[in-house]
Amino acid sequence: TRRDFIKHAGIAALPLVAGNTFAQTAEFNMKFGSNLPATHPLNIHAYKMASKIKLETKGRVDIQVFPYNQLGNDTDMLSQLRSGALDFMTLSPLILGSLVPQAQINGVGFAFKDYKQVWAAMDGELGAYVRRQIANTGTIFAFDKIWDNGYREVTNSVRPINKPDDLKGIKLRTPPGPMWVSLFKALGAAPTPLNFAEVYSALQSKVVDGQENPLAIIYTAKLYEVQKYCSMTNHMWDGYWFMGNKKLFEQLPPDLQAIVTRNVAESAIMQRADVRKMNDGLQTDLKAKGMGINETNPDPFREKLRQAGFYSEWKAKFGEEAWSLLEKYTGKLA
């Protein structure tokens, strides 16, 4: 690779190609991939972060941003990240669940009452516990401050979801993660796991009736074009671990590693604020696009999950240590 070549040849020995000045030739060319549109705050902040890192490393680290599954869907990108074909990606902890089962714990239905609980847990002991599990893969790792996706809401084209019964028979796309399938089975829907890359066309062609995502995604991915109802279920909080390939990251000298690490954390804080603002403010815009929006009461949903054995099942799967770390922040769940 170019990186290896540079390492062995030394930067001074680099030949200059036509139209490529020394200043434009980074020593470390790195790639970041995500599943979201370029207009979503996650990518807006990824682009800003990449320029800041380039500036602070005096051009030595150049991170190229690939939004909206340009490098493949989440499953593809995760394999690339593990093999070293990709340097960085953002991924939902629940999708990571197929590789690191304990990572899914933030997705327990109706666990976090509010953002205060979310950040206390994810920036505290629960997040640290999950990052240790991710590091145990030996090939990939997650940076400290998880980026935000938000509380997830159900959209569909059949009827507004007011109570669990309304989900009966609804063919609902979920991301590919065991927790999602379990949650929506327990709620009585017919969950169909699909990568986000396939969601718009699956909704458009009516392969599925609905999906669930935070409003910022429903808006930036234009899902309102192919969905009629949006029900504010807030059934789970979801984030994005900013992850790296361990071996590739360790090829950076420590001072450059430190610049990247600090920028991922600082960008996370700004990204969280922007995602929150969007998720809190988009109802009016989505109504203007023709969506019917309804509020829901979480109690009957929680009760349905309890009756279906959802909480006891996942408590047993996660085990005492992880579950008590979760309940430390959320209060008693099961």
Nearer to ligand X2X, 57 or 227 (CB): 227
Longest distance between any two alpha carbons in the chain, whole Å: 68
- Residue 92 sits in the site that holds ligand X2X (CB under 6 A): yes
- Smaller CB separation from ligand X2X, 196 or 314: 196
Assigned token pair, 299? 């109690």
Q: Does 35 bind ligand X2X (CB under 6 A)?
A: yes
Q: How far is the CB of 139 from ligand X2X (least distance, A)?
A: 21
Give CA–CA dist 278/280, Å, rounded. 5
Identify which of residues 25 and 106 has a Cβ nearer to ligand X2X in the complex. Answer: 106
Least distance CB 222 / ligand X2X (angstroms): 13
- Binding ligand X2X by CB under 6 A: which of 66, 112, 141, 196? 196
Long-range contact set of residues 194-202: C-beta below 8 Å, sequence gap at least 24: 195/35, 195/69, 195/73, 195/74, 195/75, 196/35, 196/36, 196/69, 196/73, 196/74, 196/221, 197/35, 197/69, 197/72, 197/73, 197/74, 198/73, 199/173, 199/223, 200/226, 202/173
Q: Judged by CB, which is closer to ligand X2X: 149, or 330?
A: 149
210 binds ligand X2X (CB under 6 A): no
Q: How many CB atoms lie within 10 A of CB 299?
A: 10
Shortest distance in whole angstroms from residue 179 CB to ligand X2X:
11
> CA of 110: how far to CAs of 79, 174, 226, 252, in Å?
30, 16, 27, 40
Comparison of 208 and 252: residue with beta carbon closer to ligand X2X: 208
Number of residues binding to ligand X2X, judged by CB under 6 A: 9
Instruction: Find the shortest distance in angstroms from Cβ 6 to ligand X2X.
Output: 34
SS3 assignment, position 324? helix
3-state secondary structure of 107: helix
Nearest distance, CB of residue 285 and ligand X2X, angstroms? 19
The rounded distance, in Å, linking the Cα atoms of 39 and 106 is 26
CB of 226 to ligand X2X, least distance (A): 14
x-marked contacts with ligand X2X along 47-86 as a string, rule CB under 6 A: ----------------------------------------
Q: What are 118's two structure tokens?
A: 């979310």
Binding mask 127-166 for ligand X2X (x = CB under 6 A): ----------------------x-----------------
Minimum CB distance to ligand X2X smaller for 96 or for 252 = 96
Among 175, 178, 210, 239, the residue binding ligand X2X under the rule CB under 6 A is 175
Any idea which residue has 């429903």 for tokens? Answer: 218
Task: Give the C-alpha separation, 319 to 195, whole Å.
Answer: 28
Residue 149 phi, psi dihedral angles, 5° rounding: -115, -55
Chain residues in the site for ligand X2X (CB under 6 A): 35, 92, 95, 149, 175, 196, 213, 217, 238
